[in-house]
Amino acid sequence: MSAPMSIVSPAEPLEFGGARQRRTLLVLAAGTILSGFGIGASLSVGALLLAQISGNDAISGLASTTFSLGTALAGIPLARLASARGRRPALVTGNIVALFGSLVAIFSTIVGEWWVLAVGLAMIGVASAVQLLSRFSAADLALPENRARDLSLVVWAITVGAVAGPLLIGPGELMGEIFRITPLAGVFVFAVAAQILATLVNWLGLRPDPLLTARAIAAAHGDTGRVAVVTGEEEPLDAASPARRRALILTIFVIAMAQAIMVGLMAMTPLHLMHHDGTAGLVGATLSLHIAGMYALSPVFGSLSSRFGCVPVIVLGWVVLLVAIVLAYFSGPSHGMVQVSLTLVGVGWGAVTVAGAALLTELTVSADRTRWQGRSDTIMSAAGAIAGALSGVGFAFGDFSFLALMAGVLLALGAVASIGLGLHSRRN
């Protein structure tokens, strides 16, 4: 079966990897960086603006919750759109939703309604779902032995926007004065520009579409079980056997537990530091170290997953998270221990999520892959949203040490699930 001319250029070989994959990685990385600028800038001022507009500091906690909720709600719809039409329309649709979310956020400061800002932040959260989808898109055309590495390179690109985004607060205030809006809302002007550029990069650069091309390559090799969606026919087989389905569920659970641990500890770190004579500068530096830990080592974890397998890297992530939780439990008023702990939380999270995403890709065939990826992203984001909300309750009930104990329970659950993954890997 030959690939449609509109999907694959006849000038390039019909195979995985090669120049087409390298070009796809560059486009996805560029789009992720641009989208990250908008996310980092928006989250930096979202909580402050909610408190400012509402006049209630308690309302500010909704910023991360509504953002995560938007990410979670977008996961499955974007995955379904990708399955039906390709990665490019799905990514662009998410960018456009986030673009309008930035405009809604600006509008909220004009009308002075905090709930309008909350809606805008939820829409901006769709940009995070786009980033999650982009990392899976990086694996569509990758050679099997390079999937984890290629996926991790796009995850690493998140670092640039996440770290640089908060630096736009100062210039954003100047932009707010220029446009005669609330100074803090000027950051959303940058978010609008970033999402426009990300939309253009993804729409113009992802040609041919990586997912549709991967299906065309599978079709060319006579793999009809993998390309049923391309031909428009019903999928003839259940792509996941019972054993494989159990492994997929365990993988999603492992990723969700790592996300819950990370968000639960990170959400209350600023308050914990401020309760122990911390400063805004100290909080900012600590969160920057945390973000660097989350993403900076992604290529390392991707390479390790390709070389030694995904499950050993997931186990490595749990070991790092265990050390981080122990440090958090004993940190007390020590700012240094909190910083080391939160940095290691980011590193452990990165190991589990990069290897987990690669394993999820390995466990699925292309016809069924986007469905499971969407489920994973939605459950991962929902776990983070729930953990963020409950962390405030836990911190009020106990202290940072109590949060560490809660994180330890989640780690134990994730570790048990990882043992199940290890057994599945040995049997298969």
Domain boundaries, the chain: 1-237, 239-428
Q: Would the pTM of this model clear 0.85, i.e. be above it?
A: no
Check: CB of residue 136 under 8 Å from CB of residue 361: yes
Write the CB contacts of 25 (distance below 8 Å, at least 6 apart in sequence).
138, 150, 153, 154
pLDDT value of residue 13: 62
CATH number of the structural domain 239-428: 1.20.1250.20
Buried b (16+ CB within 10 A) or exposed e, 157-192: bbbbbbbebbebbeebbebbeeeebbebbbbbbbbb
- The residue assigned the tokens 């195979």 is 15
pLDDT tens digit at each of 428 positions of the chain? 333 434 455 456 667 778 889 999 999 999 998 887 767 667 667 777 887 888 876 676 677 778 888 998 998 999 999 999 999 999 999 999 999 999 999 999 999 898 999 999 999 999 989 998 998 899 898 888 888 888 888 988 888 877 776 667 778 788 888 888 888 888 899 889 999 999 999 999 999 999 999 888 878 766 544 433 322 333 333 455 788 889 999 999 999 999 999 988 887 787 778 778 877 667 767 877 888 899 889 999 999 998 999 999 999 999 999 999 999 999 888 889 999 999 999 999 999 999 999 999 888 877 788 889 899 999 998 898 888 778 877 877 788 899 999 999 999 999 999 999 988 777 76
The CATH number that domain 1-237 falls under is 1.20.1250.20
Same fold, 1-237 and 239-428: yes
Q: For position 259, what pLDDT does the model report?
A: 94
Which of these, 214, 172, 217, lies nearest to 190 by C-alpha position?
172
